[in-house]
Structure 1
Amino acid sequence: MDINENVLNGRITLKMLRYFYAVSQCMHFGQAAEQLNISKSPLSAQIKELESVLDVILFERTTRHVQLTEVGLLLQQECALLFELFRDSINKVTQAGRELDNTINIGLMSSIFWAGFGAALREFKKSYPEYTFNFIELAPQKQKQALIEHRIDIGLARFADTQNIHPLSAKLLYAEPMCVLVSDEHPLKRKQSLSLDELINEEFVFIDRTNSASTDMIIEVLLESGFYPKVTQEVIEPTTLMAVVATSTMVSIVPQSYRQHQWQNVCFIPLKETISADIYAIYHSGSARESVNAFLTAIPGLLSQQNIS
């Protein structure tokens, strides 16, 4: 029986290759079994069955070490190509399905809605009732990966997260600056505006840097203004950041549109310097989907109509 027949009759399966690949990546049967959420015994049995069907030795095993043979190394490389091709094929099918049902998958952070995005989408739907939206909450870095894997059609992120995004493209949807956020009991609350150097002695809370490139951008701007900020806390969610500021003496620098939400016990103070919090759409520039192109064309004007200032 040749190899093609072994594949066709199910003796060589995708699961079997996935098990082999997991072991080849960590070179440890126990760790691979843990990653695959199975016990070690069926994993070893699958590898032995694969070796038997292929009539090769894939691993050299001792009591202390596991090492790939030359044939095992070749299969590892081929599996990597196979899984990549498999992912691409599945992504193409799911993307084609979205095109057929006019669904636009949008990756975003929920704080984007504070900039009037929900109202803009309602207006968009009046002109394009055939389109539906599927919102997937993703941090900007994960949005980029989801775009590359065709799991979403558009990502929504701030200016700082649009740098170095090749092969993706970015389009400005709405321009807005950052401002200073303090509690309503903070000594700076009565200021009509603030310069960055007036914050030199303050303690800061920011969004976690793994979730937003804006934090590193803000810190870089503060460094250029003459001081390194004392970052006391980093949080995951913008709502948590608002709560921390409202109940402490810490300050933050946030997009101006945050003030459109009804927050208690905080004050928003304009910055004399400009730090960009502009909202961008991240997308595949080669996308031929009419729904994506319609979104990119219409949303900038609709966001501006929300009169956020």
Structure 2
Amino acid sequence: MLDPQANSRVRFRMLRYFQVLADELHFGRAALLLNISQPPLSMQIKELEEILGVALFERSSRKVALTHAGKVLKAEVDRLLSATEQSLNYVRQIGRSEKQHINIGVIGSAMWGPLLTRMKAFREANPDVNWTLHELGQQEQTEALRARTIDIAINRNVIPHVEAKIRCQLIAREAVCVAVHESDPLCRRTSVSLKDLADRAFISLSFTHSDFARQVYDNCLSLGISPLVTHQVFEPQTALALVSTGNGVSLLPESCALIHWPGVVFLKLAETIPADLYALWYDEPLPDLFTRFLHALRD
């Protein structure tokens, strides 16, 4: 007979222990990750199986495997614990707004240009507000927005970011320029075409780290140019260092020219490739503090 109180005996910690063991399928590794010894882990799993009235793992001297019931519970526990974590982080986010604090995810190239000036003006107008900057790649920003560990994300795209449950607003319009070595014959021109770069080695921002880099590459393809990418780097400063030592050219946002890297000259492209800055946030009612901050970014 089913005990109506049985489910109330299931504890959050018990489900977490089950989740880690189901991921590792090894009691020793799971216990190590949980920072406990194996006996308490075994006891918690055994108690969970007794409460549910079903075996969750098949155990032998050589392996641990999930039963069918265990696989079903694993999917449900993953969903439950993920939703719980998001809910708790949402409450923390509300707490940050009440304490006048903003967690901001930002890509490195956004730090050159109008962003910091606008943030400084906002702080001067709101001296009680503080923020923490987290340098994150674009995919990392999306994950952090969903997990509510950041409140606002700032990144760069050729086209506006499209993601379920994520909203965006334009902060500043920029264009892509080409960075070349100061001795390059192209420096005699006021602007260059992508066709002039067809045989050059390209230093690109990382495709895996930046949607923007992939969009720039695809834009070149649409204009009939297939860039010969010889290096992929995470930060514009690394790209400029490689350009300055004659390793190739780089397509970068025009505001990167403000870095003033020795031996590097920025030239205007004849073709227009946007490098616009966007602010992103999770699609839900925003606290007044975050709304005011977003308004300040686009001014």
> Which bin holds the TM-score, normalised by the shorter protein?
0.7 to 0.9
Encode CA deviations 1:56-110: one digit per residue, 9 max, x unaligned.
4221223454333344334324422330232123112201211211112111023
Partner SS state of residue 187, structure 2: coil
Partner SS state of residue 149, structure 2: coil
Deviation at 1:35, TM superposition (A): 5.5
Instruction: State the partner residue of 1:122.
Output: 120
Count matched residues: 296
What is the rounded CA distance, in whole Å, between the counterparts of 1:297 and 1:34 in structure 2? 47
Q: Is the 2:168–2:279 Cα contact (8 Å) retained in structure 1?
A: yes
Contiguous gaps of at least 5 residues in structure 2: none
What is the rounded CA distance, in whole Å, between the counterparts of 1:48 and 1:299 in structure 2? 54
What is the rounded CA distance, in whole Å, between the counterparts of 1:6 and 1:24 in structure 2? 20
Deviates more, 1:86-95 or 1:246-255: 86-95
Contiguous gaps of at least 5 residues in structure 1: 8-12, 302-309
Q: Is the 1:140–1:161 Cα contact (8 Å) retained in structure 2?
A: no
Q: Is the 1:141–1:161 Cα contact (8 Å) retained in structure 2?
A: no
Q: 1:151 aligns with which of 113, 129, 149?
A: 149
C-alpha root-mean-square deviation of aligned residues, in Å?
A: 2.5
Q: Is the 2:7–2:51 Cα contact (8 Å) retained in structure 1?
A: no
Encode CA deviations 1:18-40: one digit per residue, 9 max, x unaligned.
22112323544466456557676
Instruction: State the partner residue of 1:307.
Output: none
Instruction: State the partner residue of 2:92.
Output: 94
Instruction: State the partner residue of 1:304.
Output: none
Partner SS state of residue 276, structure 1: coil
Deviates more, 1:161-170 or 1:105-114: 161-170
Aligned partner of 2:236: which letter?
A: P
Q: Is the 2:108–2:235 Cα contact (8 Å) retained in structure 1?
A: no
What is the rounded CA distance, in whole Å, between the counterparts of 1:232 and 1:149 in structure 2? 35
Change (3 A) 1:38 1:5: closer
Q: Is the 1:186–1:249 Cα contact (8 Å) retained in structure 2?
A: no
Q: 1:236 aligns with which of 234, 237, 262?
A: 234
Deviation at 1:146, TM superposition (A): 1.0
What TM-score do the two structures reach when normalised by structure 1? 0.85
Instruction: State the partner residue of 1:84.
Output: 82
Q: Is the 2:114–2:172 Cα contact (8 Å) retained in structure 1?
A: no
What is the rounded CA distance, in whole Å, between the counterparts of 1:59 and 1:141 in structure 2? 35
Deviation at 1:136, TM superposition (A): 1.3
Change (3 A) 1:198 1:84: same
Change (3 A) 1:28 1:200: same
What is the rounded CA distance, in whole Å, between the counterparts of 1:83 and 1:6 in structure 2? 17
